[in-house]
Amino acid sequence: MGLDITAVIVDWAELETIPVLERKGVLIEAADPDDYDGALEEGWGWLPPAPASFPSWCARYEFAGTLGSFKPHFWAGERWEAVREHVPADLRTALDTFLAGLIWVPPGADGDLDEDAAEPWYGAMLVYCPPSGVPALAQAWTAVGPRLEALREPFNTYAAASGKWVGRFEEFTTLLHGWAEVVAEARRRGWGLIGLPI
């Protein structure tokens, strides 16, 4: 077994009505309710028609081919680290912004949340992005998405690892597209996003 991640988008106004010390438990129950059969393999855990088990203020997203494991996300960050110095500066900056908001720790950063920016309970989350941070991620993806093919050659040269996690370019881009979908839906709704360690 290893670390898992469950990506959820959340109506922040609803989240803020929950007492701080109860938020993590409520989010985990909302994202993984007792009556959820786990049959979802990819995509949204609720978008109309919504199953009764999912609340109307939270949506769960399952990434293709990950089975809920955090390992592909971690390795996508490692692959990006191997590739980033070999891509055009503007593309590197945009993908740095997108991934640093989600799954990648920039060089020199310690990966901890800014204590002034979040309550301590958020430190247990793998991803934490309030609604105010989502537009920057969406804008970064707008600059990256149409240019993903420009990453193929440097990825294959510097990061490809046959048989390893996210060792193929297509696996890397599939994961990026999943995060782009999460960010786009959060932005459309004006919600934030959280990566729960479940």
Report the alpha-carbon distance of residue 28 to residue 24 in Å, rounded: 6
Q: Residue 15: how many CB atoms within 10 A of its CB? A: 18
Which of 10, 40, 2, 1 has the alpha carbon at shortest distance from 127? 10
Report the alpha-carbon distance of residue 7 to residue 196 in Å, rounded: 6
Could you report the per-residue pLDDT of 92-110, keeping only the tens digit for each? Answer: 999 999 999 888 877 766 5
Instruction: Please say if the pLDDT value at position 148 is more than 90.
Output: yes
Most confident of 7-11, 42-46, 66-70: 7-11
What's the gap between Cα 68 and its chain centre?
12
pLDDT of amino acid 168: 97
Global pTM value: 0.86
Instruction: Please say if the pLDDT value at position 16 is more than 50.
Output: yes
Instruction: Please say if the pLDDT value at position 48 is more than 60.
Output: no
Higher local confidence (pLDDT), 37 or 178: 178
Helix orientation angle between 134-144 and 89-100, rounded to the nearest 10 degrees: 140
Going by pLDDT thresholds of 50, 70 and 90, the confidence category of residue 187 is: very high
Q: Where are the chain's structural domains? A: 6-196
The single-letter DSSP state of residue 120 is G
Measured CA to CA in angstroms, residue 71 lies from 3, 66, 67, 125, 175 at distances of 7, 8, 10, 15, 12
Mean pLDDT across 121-147 = 87
